[in-house]
Amino acid sequence: MPPSILVTGGAGYVGSHTVATLLERDDNRYDIVVVDNLSNSYRSENEKKPEALRRIEDMTGSTIHFYANDIRDRAALNRIFENHEIECVIHFAALKAVGESVEKPLEYYQANITGTCTLLEVMREHGVTQLVYSSSCTVYGEPQKLPLDEGHPTGQGISSPYGRTKYFCEEIMKDLCASDQNWKVISLRYFNPVGAHGSGRIGEDPYGIPNNLMPFISQVAVGRLSELLVFGGDYPTADGSGVRDYIHVQDLADGHVRAIQLFQDPRFVGFQPINLGTGTGYSVLQMVAAFEAASGCKIPHRVVGRRAGDIATNYADVSLARQLLGWGASRTVIDMCRDTWKWQSENPNGYKN
Ligand code: NAD
Ligand code: UFG
């Protein structure tokens, strides 16, 4: 049996792009096994596999093993580890809507923390001790200095239960690594993932009205929404709108591949957080202008009050990613906007139809 990578949440946005990137590599030696409960990904009624994975199989000519299970279902996870020779896990599965987490904190702690603990326990039972974790720059809270490097304090002033689940999971995995030298955990702290696979066949397909900037802009462009509300015009930034470090999802996916490669280095052990961003911040209004330039569409927009919990500016120090992973983002903001537009214009209703 070839070695496998278990990808939790692999039918979702970042997970599907990472699966595609792994399978597209000429030197890929892994089978890909995905577990996803489909709570935020689409599968059509007559199909066994989610649409994103079906399209990746079509694009790559590979077979993806798929299990429609919740990561809190210990028996189901055990069966997956019994059925496949799992070498390492990339753990994307989580609830991720910041606003919803304020309304439903228990659901978020249950899904994200209990889910992660169950996964870690089952991994340990099966002697699998290599994990790449999807963390977030939200663990830094309100930036005390910029750019944010991995030495910046975490856990202070995090504005949502969602953000705290990411912080708590990091702490849990840190403790686990301290207790047992066999564990290797790389916690990738994403800044703002945007964009889509260059083919236009897979992309971000949020349920309902998008919370995040880029899916909102692209749905305005395609006519599903009428105008963008720019949350805040009075931040201490060049044009008054909020500044973020947007990173192309394909660059992010490459970062996961590099993290898996780091597991092969016998000197690497323990818990290691690593930022994945570009190191450059763009404002909301700059992103609107970039999208207009890349798509040729006008994006009607209006500046309104700030959104609760938002910070003015963040962007990453990415030197550790370069040092440890030999990784750096190569795609520009125009690439991000062009690929978002290709996906959205060719799939105006996302994966449905
Ligand atoms: P997503 O919602 O598109 O993907 C998550 C997938 O996990 C979905 O397909 C969902 O159905 C599945 N899932 C959720 N709970 C599950 C459970 N209990 N059991 C099994 N499957 C479950 O989200 P994404 O944008 O791809 O994010 C992936 C990861 O990256 C998440 O952990 C998220 O917190 C983290 N992250 C995302 C961003 C971002 O802006 N997209 C930023 C920082 C960190
Ligand atoms: N924005 C708007 N209008 C919108 C949506 C967003 O002006 O309709 C602005 C926001 O105010 C912010 C910027 O666009 O200035 C980016 O907002 P997003 O919601 O796209 O992203 P956030 O930076 O707020 O959130 C991201 C991740 C979260 C993570 C958070 C940590 O999506 O998972 O970073 O900072 F928790």
DSSP 273-296: EEEES-S--EEHHHHHHHHHHHH-
* Closest atom, ligand 2, to C-alpha of 138: 31
Burial class (CB in 10 A: 0-12, 13-18, 19+), 306: middle
**For 126-160, where are the alpha helices, taking DSSP H only?**
none
Instruction: Tell me the per-residue pLDDT of 80-90, one tens digit each, with 9 for 90 and over.
Output: 999 999 999 99
Measured from the CB, is residue 39 less than 6 Å from ligand 1? Answer: yes
Q: What is the mean pLDDT of residues 216-230?
A: 95
| Residue closest by Cα to atom 3 of ligand 2 | 230
pLDDT score recorded for residue 80: 98
Q: Cα 316 from chain centroid?
A: 16
Q: Which DSSP helix (H) or strand (E) runs through 243? A: strand 243-244
Q: How far apart are CA 115 and CA 91, in angstroms?
A: 10
In 3-state terms, what secondary structure has residue 28? coil
pTM of the model as a whole: 0.98
Q: Which atom of ligand 2 is nearest to the CA of 162?
A: 36
Q: What is the mean pLDDT of residues 229-239?
A: 98
Distances from the Cα of 278 to the Cαs of 87, 194, 220, 252, in angstroms? 29, 12, 26, 10
Q: Which of 33, 35, 37 to mutate to test the pocket of ligand 1 (most atoms within 8 A of CB)?
A: 37
CA 93 to ligand 1 center in whole angstroms: 5
Residue 3 structure tokens:
């070695």
pLDDT of 335 reads 98
């989610």: which residue's tokens? Answer: 50
Measured CA to CA, the distance from residue 324 to residue 263 in angstroms comes to: 11
pLDDT (average), residues 182-200: 98
Q: Which of 135-139, 200-204, 221-225, 317-321 has the lowest mean pLDDT?
A: 221-225
Q: Which helix (H) or strand (E) holds 188?
A: strand 184-190
Judge whether 162 counts as a catalytic residue: yes
Catalytic member of 108, 162, 235, 351:
162
Which atom, in ligand 1's list, is nearest to the CA of 11?
9
Q: Is the CB of 11 under 6 A from ligand 1?
A: yes
Please determine, for residue 53, whether its predicted confidence score (pLDDT) is greater than 90: yes
Q: Map out the domains of the chain as residue ranges.
A: 4-352
Q: What is the pLDDT of residue 2?
A: 87
- In words, the CATH class of domain 4-352 is alpha beta
Predicted confidence at residue 84, as pLDDT, reads: 98
- pLDDT tens digit string along 113-153? 999 999 999 999 999 999 999 999 999 999 999 999 999 99
Q: Note the pLDDT of residue 86.
A: 98
Q: Mean pLDDT for the chain? A: 97
Q: Residue 55 corresponds to which tokens in the numbers above?
A: 């399209």
Residues 285-340 pLDDT 10s: 999 999 999 999 999 999 999 999 999 999 999 999 999 999 999 999 999 999 99
User: Do residues 230 and 276 lie in contact, with contact meaning Cβ atoms separated by under 8 Å?
Assistant: no
pLDDT band at 56 (very low <50, low <70, confident <90, very high): very high
Residue of 57, 56, 54, 52 whose CA lies nearest to 42: 52
Q: Give the residue-averaged pLDDT of 62-81.
A: 98
Structure confidence by residue, pLDDT tens digits, 90-107: 999 999 999 999 999 999
Q: Is the pLDDT of residue 72 over 80?
A: yes
What's the CA angle centered on 176, arms 174 and 177, to 5 degrees?
65
**pLDDT bracket for residue 1 (50, 70, 90):** confident
Q: Do 193 and 249 contact (CB within 8 A), yes or no?
A: yes
Place of tokens 């209004």: 285
**Among all chains, which residue has been given the structure tokens 């202070």?**
156
Q: What is the pLDDT of residue 150?
A: 98
> HSE on the CB side for 245, CA within 13 Å?
23
Kindly write down the DSSP assignment for every residue of 260-274, as one continuous string: HHHTT-TT--EEEEE
Residue with CA closest to ligand 1 atom 12: 9
Which residues of 123-171 form beta strands (DSSP E)?
130-136
Instruction: Evaluate: CB of 41 within 6 angstroms of ligand 1.
Output: yes
